């Protein structure tokens, strides 16, 4: 189970994801993706054929009565027309089918790829990108990109098709009349581009104001208790009125440019039609009077006018796709940012044959900071050796980097300088799987998942037998409350494990770590919600033979949780302030003494 496949890493080296890279997500649907526009293309051809046939019909009908009129020809034309209609149905079905398959497929691939990518990111990447933002990218942004894709394969291809074909047909009818397009098309393009250029900054302002609106609204709703407690309703109303008016005004300003686009295009279409009729009529009359045959016919003129609106409206569709692309651009760039994110920690240099044999841990001159730009190290020059099987307590104020220190052991983060050794080997020599199989961390946040209790405990070891699961739960003091549940170990935990209390969650997380039977067990403030009696029981379990060879590292707020450890490490501001037993630290260490006194005051008072 190598976490990062080498060929993938290569691809990810690209600093920037271009739109073309998204082509890889069409994998498996490439043929259909190409066939969709082809179907649309067929559809367009027929759509354009219809006015042509209609023109021919009109021309045929016009000869009605004269000796050149052939009834059979007319009938044939009509059947041709009906036949084409049936073809459009078939074509329509396939284009709906192909585009549905292609765009859903694209969406699914995109989501899978992004999900996989996120799974491969390191803690550092995740901290930078933020979990909430990753969820938005996974859910909203991908769906926006998917809908852009489906618009793209249908409309974007269709627009130019119609444009080119209608233009070609128009040219076939009359090059003279087609000259009108040489003015109309650039005219429309220039005007719309100008409008767009003017509107874009306004839309940007509008989006800002909308963000502002949303955040004002959201913070009001979230903080409604505070609003009411301080009787600030009127103040809030005023504040809201301001952002609301802002949105209204900027919306008005931005939209007022855009709303003129349609009337403008319609006007151009009308103008072109009138000019064409004028020109066409003049040509027909002149040809007729000059007895010139083979010139423009009335039917052709009718057809030509249809082409005018086709050409110009398809031009608009093309431009509209550009607009929706601009809108989706933000989503694309957010998603691309994730794809371009390189996992800051990889195990590609890890030796799959190397396993954690003992629980010995060594920190050599380790310093750490979360980002390169950070001015100050979070951990400063830590040197520490923990022997296999030892039980070590870590204590210190919030923000003193206790968690940071232990996170370096299973390589959740890499030391900025210095080295960390587990079982005598640099942590970088292991694969993630092997290292983390040997080093088990119970995090501060209790992260459980939908599924049964047993399934959640088995996260630690998928191959664990039922007995092993129960054994781990018993050790974590979770067995009793699990058995009290109606379905015991098969109880569904629900989304995020929210159906059990905080203390129960913590115990399940501990059981999950126990079932792994790790060489190094790290409990990062993992019993904060557990009562002291249970906490004591768990600690006494750690002292049993089952954990004799396991190195135990316990981070705690409560001194009682760690006072019986073999050694206690006091961390202050990223440095080791003192190491010793409870007795020696109470005697010699100021910080430890202070914490101890503050926590014992009440008890001592009696």
Partner 1 sequence: MSEKTPLTPENNAALTEETAAAAVPETAEEPAIPAEETTVSAEETTTPADAEKKPRRKRGKKADADLTPEEKEKKEKEKEKKKKDKPKDAKKAAKRLIGYIADHKRGLIVVALCVILTSVIGAVGALIMKPVYAILEAVVNGGEAKASAVGIWVDGKINGDVAMQEILKYLLVMAIAYIVSTALSLLYTRIMLKITVTTVAQLRRELFNHLQGLPIGYFDSHKVGEIMSRFTSDVNRVSDLVSDSFPTIISAVVQGGMTLVIMLIYSWQITLIMTGALVLIVLVIIAITSICSPLFKKQQKAMGECNGYIEEYIMGIKAVKIFCYEDRSKAQFRELNEAYRRIGVKANIIGGFMGPIISMIARVNYAIAVSIGALFVVNGTGGMDVARLVTFLSYASGYGGSIASIAGCYSALISALAGAERIFEVLDTPFEPDEGNVRLAKVVSGIMGYEESDDDTAVAAWKIPAADGSVRYTPVEGNIQVKDVTFAYVEGKNVIKHLTVDVPSGKKVAFVGSTGAGKTTITNLINRFYEIENGEITIDGINIKDIKKDDLRHSMAFVLQDVGLFADTIKENIRYGRLDATDDEIVAAAKVANAHAFIEKLPDGYDTQLRSDGVNLSAGQAQLLNIARAALADRPVLVLDEATSSVDTRTERLIEHGMDQLMAGKTVLVIAHRLSTVRNSDDILVLENGEVIEEGSHQALIDLGQKYYQLYTGMFEMT
Q: Mapping DSSP to helix (H, G, I), strand (E, B) and coil, where does residue 42 land?
A: helix
Minimal distance, residue 429 CB to partner 1, in Å: 17
CA 24 to chain centre: 17
Minimal distance, residue 161 CB to partner 1, in Å: 16
Residue 73 makes contact with partner 1 by CB under 8 A: no
Residue 313 makes contact with partner 1 by CB under 8 A: no
Please pick, from the candidates 9, 302, 426, 581, the single residue that binds partner 1 as defined by CB under 8 A.
302
Which part of the chain contacts partner 1 (CB under 8 A), choosing from 14-22, 169-177, 298-306, 376-384?
298-306
Residue 310 makes contact with partner 1 by CB under 8 A: no
Which part of the chain contacts partner 1 (CB under 8 A), choosing from 173-181, 251-259, 362-370, 467-475?
251-259
Give the integer Cα–Cα distance in Å for 386 and 437: 19
DSSP state of 552: E
Give the integer Cα–Cα distance in Å for 170 and 96: 29
Please pick, from the candidates 147, 191, 344, 388, the single residue that binds partner 1 as defined by CB under 8 A.
147
Residue 487 makes contact with partner 1 by CB under 8 A: no
Residue whose C-alpha is closest to residue 74's, from 299, 377, 385 = 299
Minimal distance, residue 340 CB to partner 1, in Å: 18
Please pick, from the candidates 12, 21, 45, 50, the single residue that binds partner 1 as defined by CB under 8 A.
50
- Residue where the block lists tokens 């790290």: 522
Residue 293 makes contact with partner 1 by CB under 8 A: no
b/e string for 549-565 if b means 16 or more Cβ within 10 A? ebbbbbbbbebbbbbbb
CB 379 within 8 A of CB 366: yes
Residue 604 makes contact with partner 1 by CB under 8 A: no
Please pick, from the candidates 282, 292, 543, 548, the single residue that binds partner 1 as defined by CB under 8 A.
282
- Residue where the block lists tokens 């008005």: 252
Please pick, from the candidates 432, 514, 547, 592, the single residue that binds partner 1 as defined by CB under 8 A.
432
Residue whose C-alpha is closest to residue 371's, from 115, 193, 129 = 129
Give the integer Cα–Cα distance in Å for 454 and 491: 8
- Residue where the block lists tokens 């590609």: 348
Residue whose C-alpha is closest to residue 558's, from 541, 580, 533, 584 = 533
Please pick, from the candidates 25, 35, 41, 103, the single residue that binds partner 1 as defined by CB under 8 A.
103
CA 565 to chain centre: 44
Closer to partner 1 by Cβ: residue 359 or 460: 460
Please pick, from the candidates 41, 149, 203, 547, the single residue that binds partner 1 as defined by CB under 8 A.
203
Closer to partner 1 by Cβ: residue 324 or 381: 324
How many residues bind partner 1 (CB under 8 A)? The answer is 170
* Phi then psi dihedrals of residue 497, to 5 deg: 70, 25
Please pick, from the candidates 185, 271, 325, 454, the single residue that binds partner 1 as defined by CB under 8 A.
271
Q: Mapping DSSP to helix (H, G, I), strand (E, B) and coil, where does residue 126 land?
A: helix
Q: Which residues pair with 551 in a beta bridge?
A: 520
Residue 123 makes contact with partner 1 by CB under 8 A: yes
DSSP state of 492: B
CB 47 within 8 A of CB 91: no
Which part of the chain contacts partner 1 (CB under 8 A), choosing from 114-122, 181-189, 470-478, 537-545?
114-122
Q: Which residues contact 74 (CB under 8 A, 6 or more apart)?
A: 57, 60, 61
Residue 374 makes contact with partner 1 by CB under 8 A: no
Residue 359 makes contact with partner 1 by CB under 8 A: no
Minimal distance, residue 231 CB to partner 1, in Å: 5
Minimal distance, residue 398 CB to partner 1, in Å: 4
Residue 183 makes contact with partner 1 by CB under 8 A: no
Minimal distance, residue 438 CB to partner 1, in Å: 11
Residue 297 makes contact with partner 1 by CB under 8 A: yes
Closer to partner 1 by Cβ: residue 61 or 164: 61
Question: Which DSSP helix (H) or strand (E) runs through 389?
Answer: none
CA 413 to chain centre: 23
Residue 260 makes contact with partner 1 by CB under 8 A: yes
For 404, what's the count of Cα atoms within 13 Å in the CB-facing half-sphere? 25
Closer to partner 1 by Cβ: residue 191 or 219: 219
Residue 34 makes contact with partner 1 by CB under 8 A: no
Residue 517 makes contact with partner 1 by CB under 8 A: no
Residues of span 448-477 touching partner 1 by CB under 8 A: 448-450, 459-460, 462
Please pick, from the candidates 180, 184, 202, 328, the single residue that binds partner 1 as defined by CB under 8 A.
328
Give the integer Cα–Cα distance in Å for 499 and 493: 6
Please pick, from the candidates 385, 532, 548, 566, the single residue that binds partner 1 as defined by CB under 8 A.
532
If you compute the radius of gyration of the chain from its CA atoms, what whole number of angstroms results? 36
């Amino acid at each position: 189970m190598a976490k990062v496949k080498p060929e993938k890493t290569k691809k990810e080296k690209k600093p920037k994801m271009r739109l073309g890279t998204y082509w890889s997500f069409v994998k498996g649907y490439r043929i259909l993706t190409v066939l969709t526009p082809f179907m649309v293309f067929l559809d367009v051809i027929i759509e354009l054929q219809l006015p042509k046939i209609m023109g021919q019909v009109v021309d045929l009908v016009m000869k009605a009565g004269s000796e050149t009129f052939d009834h059979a020809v007319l009938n044939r034309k009509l059947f041709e027309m009906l036949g084409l209609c049936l073809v459009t149905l078939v074509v329509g079905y396939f284009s709906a089918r192909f585009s549905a398959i292609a765009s859903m497929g694209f969406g699914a691939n995109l989501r899978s790829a992004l999900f996989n990518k996120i799974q491969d990111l390191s803690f550092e990447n995740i901290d930078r990108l933020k979990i909430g933002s990753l969820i938005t990218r996974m859910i909203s942004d991908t769906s926006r990109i998917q809908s852009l894709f489906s618009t793209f394969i249908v409309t974007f291809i269709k627009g130019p098709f119609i444009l080119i074909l209608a233009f070609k047909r128009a040219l076939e009818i009359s090059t003279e009349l087609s000259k009108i397009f040489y003015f109309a098309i650039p005219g429309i393009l220039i005007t719309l581009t100008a409008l767009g250029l003017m509107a874009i900054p306004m839309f940007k302002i509008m989006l800002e104001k909308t963000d502002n609106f949303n955040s004002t609204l959201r913070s009001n709703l979230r903080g409604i208790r505070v609003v009411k407690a301080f009787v600030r309703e009127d103040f809030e109303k005023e504040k809201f009125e301001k952002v609301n008016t802002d949105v209204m005004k900027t919306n008005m300003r931005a939209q007022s440019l855009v709303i003129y686009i349609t009337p403008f295009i319609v006007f151009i279409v009308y103008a072109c039609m009138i000019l064409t009729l004028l020109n066409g009529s003049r040509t027909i009359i002149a040809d007729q009077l000059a007895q010139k045959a083979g010139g423009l016919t009335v039917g052709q003129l009718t057809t030509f006018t249809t082409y005018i609106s086709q050409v110009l409206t398809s031009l608009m569709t093309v431009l509209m796709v550009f607009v929706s692309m601009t809108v989706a651009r933000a989503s694309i760039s957010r998603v691309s940012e994730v794809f371009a994110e390189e996992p800051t920690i990889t195990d590609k240099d890890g030796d799959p044959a190397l396993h954690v044999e003992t629980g010995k841990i060594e920190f050599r001159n380790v310093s750490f900071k979360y980002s390169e730009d950070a001015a100050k190290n979070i951990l400063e020059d830590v040197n520490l050796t923990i022997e296999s099987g030892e039980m070590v307590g870590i204590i210190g104020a919030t923000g003193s980097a206790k968690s940071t220190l232990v996170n370096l052991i299973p390589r959740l983060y890499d030391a900025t300088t210095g080295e960390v050794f587990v079982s005598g080997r640099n942590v970088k020599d292991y694969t993630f799987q092997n290292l983390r199989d040997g080093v088990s961390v119970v995090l501060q946040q209790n992260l459980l998942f939908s599924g049964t209790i047993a399934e959640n405990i088995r996260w630690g070891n998928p191959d664990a037998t039922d007995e092993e699961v129960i054994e781990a739960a018993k050790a974590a003091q979770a067995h009793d409350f699990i058995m009290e549940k109606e379905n015991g170990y098969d109880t569904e935990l629900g989304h995020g494990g929210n159906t059990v209390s905080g203390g129960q969650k913590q115990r399940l997380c501990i059981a999950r770590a126990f079932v792994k039977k790790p060489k190094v067990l790290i409990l990062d403030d993992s019993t904060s919600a557990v009562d002291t009696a249970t906490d004591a029981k768990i600690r006494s379990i750690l002292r049993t033979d089952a954990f004799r060879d396991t190195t135990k590292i316990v981070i705690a707020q409560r001194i009682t949780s760690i006072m019986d450890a073999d050694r206690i490490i006091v961390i202050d501001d990223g440095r080791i302030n003192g190491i010793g037993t409870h007795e020696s630290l109470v005697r010699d260490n100021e910080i430890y003494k202070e914490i101890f006194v503050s926590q014992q005051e009440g008890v001592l008072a009696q």
